[in-house]
Structure formats: structure tokens, C-alpha cells
Chain A
Amino acid sequence: MSEVTRFTHGSRIPGWDQSTDPSKPAAAIPDPATTTVPEELRAAIEAEIAKYPERRSALIPALHHAQEHHGWCSPEAIEQVACVMRLTPGEVAAVVTFYDMFESKPVGKNTIYVCTNISCSLNGGDRILAAMRDAAGDDPDFNIRGFECLGACDMAPMASINGEYVGPLTDEDCNQVIAQLTAGETPLPAKQLSLRPCADAAGRTGGDGQ
């Protein structure tokens, strides 16, 4: 019997089309006596918890720390966060899968977000994404993703490379980024956002240059 093709669904909840087994008990809050959490990670999460009136508020910062520590939000990382946060792994996983920056699969250590939203794509963002993918080839060290508007349309087309904004990019820059990251250098130091002057201040001198 051939499988009935289903229309793609807009839901962001992974597993919405999979059945569950209600006879199995839901995973409980991990027992601190049997869950080992790296000391460094535990300290970082506890410092976050201390900032808020309610401890659950520290979940997203905790997951940032866990992702930094493990490279991705692995089941092990989720278990450890759940243990320190006193939440069930299910509650933590629900948050992980909602946010684009949390990786729920293992990824390369260099994360490159290429903006492909409207302003960047008007300036060739989609082409840059393809060029970046071509440049990296199948090197497993690179995690290259087309991303939604990163809030830097003034330097379109742009990308966020391990958190550093660079732009405007050319096809040639993509090869250079991959080469520089492979060699452990800072990618495109001259094209970083921190060096960009404000367009207003650069275009008009003084405060009243209407």
C-alpha cells in the first residue's frame, strides 16, 4: 500500500505527527543523586537562577550555557539542565525546540547564520548562502544556516559568524571566511559591525544637517 502524502504543516512542535504511548510514565525531574552535572555548568546555571525572582526564568540562559558546554542541546545536556533547574526533561525539551538558536542535533563548531530575509535577499543574500555552503563543502566543522532577519540590513548581505556580524559580503568573502575559520583566524576583521559608523553621523555632519 502506498503511503498517503500529507500536506506540510505549519506547526513548530516536533513530533506533532507521531503517536505517544500514554501507558509510559512521563519522565520525572532528574534525581540530583544520580545525574552528574559538570561543576562549571552547574555553577553557571545557579548564578543565572540567582538573578530572577522565579527560578524557571533562568531556563533560556541555562540552555545557552549548556549549548556552549556540550556543543548542542543533547539529551544529556537537557537532562543536566533539567536537574539543576528542577524541571522535567520534557519541559526543557519543549523550550529547546521552540528557539532557532538552540540546536537539537549535533552540529559543527563554527556556526554561520546567513541572513536570507527581505533586505538581505534584495542584495543577494540567497546567493551568499549558496556560496557559503559551496565554500564549506561537506566539512563537518561548519554549521551553515539561512537565518531570518538578523537586524543588520544596513550591511546587507550579511552573516553572523560565531556571533560576530560581518558584511556587506561578496561571493569571494565566503571562501575567505571558511579559510580563515579553518586556520583559526578572525573572519573578515575589516567588515565587522563594531567598526561601522552610524549612517546618520557619517552622512550628515553636526546635529542639524537636514
Chain B
Amino acid sequence: MSAILFDRIDEPGLATIDVYTRRGGYSALKKALAMPREAIIEELKVSGLRGRGGAGFSMGTKASFIPGAEIDKYLVCNADESEPGTFKDRELMQKKPHQLIEGMIISAYAVGANRSFIYIRGEYVLQAEMLERAIAEAKQAGHLGENIHGSGFSLDLVLQRGAGAYICGEETGLLDSLEGKRGNPRLKPPFPANEGLYKGPTLINNVETLATVPPIIEMGGAEYAKLGVENSAGTKLVSVSGNVQRPGNYEIELGISSREIIFGLAGGPEAGRSVKLWFPGGSSSPVLTADDLDLPYDFDSLAKAGSMLGSGAIIVVDDSVRVVDVALKLASFYRHESCGKCTPCREGTNWTVNMLERVQSGEATPMDLDIIASVQEQIIGNCLCVLGDAMAMPVGSLVAKFRPEFEAHIEAARERNGLGASQPAVEQPVLTI
């Protein structure tokens, strides 16, 4: 496999337009501007590129939803990389900002958008500076602005820094934030493709997705589709972190085994430790255990195993860590980040934290675990966005897969605090008729 996104990633000066152009940059843009718009969208569809931000929706299909009419249309790049464990876009924006910009120009041309925005999380100060510099260079070189390279197509690109809110990574929350409001998600439908930024049709994609567009145009969609496996074409950046020896970003061909990523690339847990559980796609994905390490790392295989590929962030937790601590950490994060708009999420995240604190302190009984599980079920699918689900899925899966450990923890904490054993399980009488 040859690297597509991380090709020459650490070459000095690759963030400047000179080096990027010398390495073949912006040639895909020139090729694309000579193509009819429909042909670009067709190439994207043929490539099988699925969104790299978390939802995994086909990019070509999403682009084809944008109406063709001559109205104000927008392209927004979601660079609010806040999913815990994810840091791939950071590396791309810092080291290859021009590849993202080139991908955005091609995508904007394909859907006929004349204004584009990059919404980057406020904490990424260095990356925002790199992008600002790159945008200025691209303007200078005539890749952005009026009548790009004589094609009659004009595009304006504005970088906006966020200010620290996980929910602004949700596409409609991001749009509200970009409009200068609190980042509350909107009711869908209407989807952003019909009614997005300033109520205009808006194509919104993740950094990695947009940065993959120039290589696809360069090599052709059919060639790109040969990489990876069925329904999961191409390469993917995975961010491996947690209890591994070589944490970092790796570019993999989709479909390789998860063990190869966690142990082969990231070095696995330190000697003497073993994998207890892992999150395959950011902290919002249901957890998998050591038994699932041989799963192929692609969209369908992970979905079949009851989890998801998400943003491609693998968080490895080894056997020295208590599951209750992991669950409480997760729940506290989502409680803090809930925007408060929908009741199941606002109250559900709050009560999950309260109950997990009871588990920690020893006030809980095993019945609390049933209540925790039922609260998670009542959150899923009942809110405007998936933030609540993003807590309910991992916490629910932790309670389901590690129930004996939770129960042992409860009993030990009760014992420690002198509360005595929780009610022993009563054998249910068998009714005979």
C-alpha cells in the first residue's frame, strides 16, 4: 500500500505552496476544473469514499444531494476534531494544509458552491495559523478568488476558529456556531444539503474526506476503489492512543486486522499487560474486547460486531484499568458537553454520572446497573443529535460486557465503606399451573 494522505508527511516545507506544488500538488485541481461538474461527483461515487468524520456516509452521494440551481451554496469543512481519541485531522492540517484546501476547491466546484468555510476547533492554534498561511498562499497563486484559472468559477475560503465545544463537531451544531450562535444542533430533516448554512444548500465534510478528494481525481475513482475492501474503499487514518507503546496516527488500508493496527503499528500495551477493552472509533463507539482483536478494520465488519468505525480513533485500555473508572470518565465528558437542548441527553448523561458515582462510592446495588442500562436505552434515538447516543452506546456496552466486574466493584466498595453486602439475589419461585 502506498500512502495517499500521509505521503511524504514529514517532508520539511510541505506545508508551503512551493514544496506542495513541486510534489504534484494542485495538479488535481487543474484536472478537475477541466471536467464537467457531474463527472467529478461521478468519480467520487465510483471511488466509494465514505465520510471520515464518523457517520461514514458516501461522499459522492452527499454531494449529489446539493441542488444544481444557481443559488447561494456553501461548502463547510468540519475541522472541529473533538471526538476523544481522535487527532488525525490535526496532523493533516498542520503538515499538509494545501491538500485540504485543494480538496475543498474541487468539491466546491463540483457542487457549485462559491463560499467555503473551515470551522476549526479553537484549541488548535498552531493548525489554524498553518491554514491561514496556506489560504493566503493559495489566494496569491490564484487557486482561490475570482475566476480561478480562467474557469469562470469563483471561490472564497474563510477559516473560523471555534471556542471549545464538542457539540460543534455535530454538523448542524457547527452550522449554528458558524452563524454566531450557541452550537445547538438542529432538527433533521431538513438536512444541510437542502437547508444548511444561512438556510442555503450546504455540503459539509470532514477534513480527511476533503483531503482525499485530490488523490481520487488524480488516480481516478475506479483506481481508488481498488484499495481497501468491499463497502470500505481506500485508506484511512487511524489515531491509536491509550495504553499502547507507540501512540500516533497511522494510515492503513481499510480491512486489515485490528490486531495488526494495535500491536503491529502501535506496539500494543506495555510488556506484562494485556488488552482489556478497546474503542474502535472514538470514545462514542461501543467497546470491543480482546476477543474482537482479529476483526478486520472496516466499516461493515465493525458494524457487524456491534460497534462502529466512527472517526477511526482506537483507544486501547489495558488490564490495569478499572472499567468503572472508564465508564465514569466517559459519562462525565458527555454530561459536560451536552448542549442541554434535548431532555433525554441532558438528564440522561447527568443521571448516568450520578449513578456511576454511587457505584464508585459503594452506595449502589446491582439494581443500579439495570437502571443505568435502561437509561442508556431510553437515550438512544430520542434526541436531535447523537451526543446522547454517543454516551449511551459505550456506557451501555461497558455495563453489558463487564457486568461481573461492576458488581464486584459495588460489593468491594460497600464492604470498604461498611455498608454491608447488597441484597443477595433471591431465587425466583417457579410458578406451576
Contacts and interface: CB of A to CB of B under 8 A. Distances in A.
Contacts of B198: 53-54
Interface string B222-257: 000000000000000001111100111111010010
A23 interface: no
Interface stretch (B46-54, B79-87, B408-416): B79-87
A95 B164 CA distance: 12
A121 B349 CA distance: 20
Interface in B325-373: 326, 329-330, 333, 335-340, 346-347, 349-350, 354
A3 interface: no
Contact of A119 (B9, B315, B339, B340): B315
A101 B162 CA distance: 9
A22 to B, nearest CB: 22
Contacts of A117: 84, 283, 329, 333
Given A94-B182, A164-B126, A198 B162 contact: no
A60 B84 contact: no
B6 A200 contact: yes
Contact of B82 (A101, A148, A197): A148
| Chain A, interface residues (CB within 8 Å), range | 35 or more
A9 B160 CA distance: 31
B321 interface: yes
A199 B249 contact: yes
Interface in B191-225: 198
A149 to B, nearest CB: 4
B219 to A, nearest CB: 14
Interface stretch (B115-123, B376-384, B418-426): B115-123
Nearest to A58: B180
A107 B228 CA distance: 50
B366 to A, nearest CB: 23
B333 A98 contact: no
B119 to A, nearest CB: 10
Q: Which of B1, B124, B163 has the most CB of A within 10 A?
A: B163
Given A117-B333, A118-B283, A154 B247 contact: yes
B148 interface: no
A122 interface: yes
A100 interface: yes
Given A98-B165, A153-B241, A118 B160 contact: no
Interface stretch (A10-18, A28-36, A179-187): A10-18
Interface string A164-195: 11000000000000000000000000000110
Contacts of B304: none
A108 interface: no
A39 B144 CA distance: 31
A58 B81 CA distance: 21
Contacts of A118: 84-85, 242, 283, 315, 326, 329-330, 333
Contacts of A99: 122, 162-165, 183
A98 B162 CA distance: 11
A165 to B, nearest CB: 7
Given A52-B158, A101-B163, A119-B315, 5 more contacts: A60-B162, A64-B161, A160-B123, A198-B10, A201-B10
3 smallest A-B Cβ distances: which pairs?
A199-B248, A153-B241, A59-B180
7 contacts: A63-B163, A101-B163, A149-B283, A151-B89, A163-B125, A198-B10, A198-B95
